[in-house]
Structure 1
Amino acid sequence: MAQGPTLPEPLTRNPGDAARGKAVAVNSDLGNCLICHQISMPEVPPGAAGDIGPSLDGVGLRLTAAELRQRIVDPRKIEPETIMPAYHTTDGLVRVASQYAGLPILSAQQVEDLIAYLLTLK
Structure 2
Amino acid sequence: MILSLTESLQSCKDELASCQSELESAKAEIDKWNSAFKKESFVPARKSPEPEFVIDYIQTLRSSEKSLKEEVVIWLISFVFFTSFFLQLEIAQMKVKVLISSLYNVHTYSMMFVIFFTKRPL
**TM-score band w.r.t. shorter chain:** under 0.3
User: Which of 1 and 2 has higher RCO (CA within 8 Å, sep 6+)?
Assistant: 1
TM-score in terms of structure 2 length: 0.18
* Greater gyration radius: 2
